[in-house]
Amino acid sequence: MTEATHEEAHGGALGSRLNWLRAAVLGANDGVVSTAGLVVGVAGATDDRGTLLTAGLAGLLAGSMSMAAGEYVSVSTQRDSEKAALAQEKRELREQPEAELAELTDLLAERGLSRAVAREAAQQLTERDALRAHARVELGIDPDELTNPWHAAWASFLAFTVGALLPLLAIVLPSASWRLPVTVVSVLAALALTGLASARLGAAKARPAVLRNVLGGALAMAVTHAAGALLGAAGV
């Protein structure tokens, strides 16, 4: 087990920080790929800098807001179900404390404690803070650290925006003849980096992750550029 997965298996603060970091890298990656596909596609049809800037900026805003909204909805839903689970746990603790103590004992014993020690531990945990013990051991959540949907939404918005800025600037800043090479090279380099980072954070093999990520981005740009060039040539 690497240090990262080890920490995560224990659900420590480092584990949740790693999850945030991984989400940020994935969000930035999305921003790079979708905006690169968009601007390289439009560049297939037109040389006009204003058009490229408008398309890229619209893509950046649409993508970052859609990511933020999606994240807000999914984290809110998760938080609602965690709150409901906590409320149910609270009710069960009030109505059937003996059954709950036995349940906690079983869960601790499943984790490798002997029956006697599990029983003792369950009793101590129950005396100190029964709800927290059940939340952690049974539900795997910390009642004081439920994810805030607004934080999650802002984080996705920012991550996507940071990623999207790279292809946007790369297509707008250079002169017309340098636009495509600069954008393609910087996008593929960025995707190699985000692929490497997410492999490292997920303790996966680096080379296949980097290759998949770079090839995916290259394919996206090739397809949209071909579509843009066809439409541009047809005078649409």
Judged by the rule CB under 5 A, the positions of this chain that interact with Zn ion are 100, 134, 138
Least spacing, CB of residue 24 vs Zn ion, in Å: 34
Least spacing, CB of residue 151 vs Zn ion, in Å: 28
Q: Which two tokens stand for residue 126?
A: 């129950």
Distance CA 179, CA 173 (A): 8
Least spacing, CB of residue 76 vs Zn ion, in Å: 24
Residues with Cβ within 8 Å of residue 116, at least 6 apart in sequence: none
Nearer to Zn ion, 71 or 100 (CB): 100
Nearer to Zn ion, 134 or 225 (CB): 134
Distance CA 67, CA 156 (A): 6
Least spacing, CB of residue 146 vs Zn ion, in Å: 18
Least spacing, CB of residue 119 vs Zn ion, in Å: 15
Q: Which two tokens stand for residue 206?
A: 């680096």
Q: What angle do CA 138, 132, 24 make, to 5 degrees?
A: 80
Distance CA 40, CA 68 (A): 24
Residue facing Zn ion at closest CB distance: 134
| Alpha carbon separation from 29 to 58, 149, 153 (Å, rounded) | 18, 21, 16
Residues with Cβ within 8 Å of residue 181, at least 6 apart in sequence: none
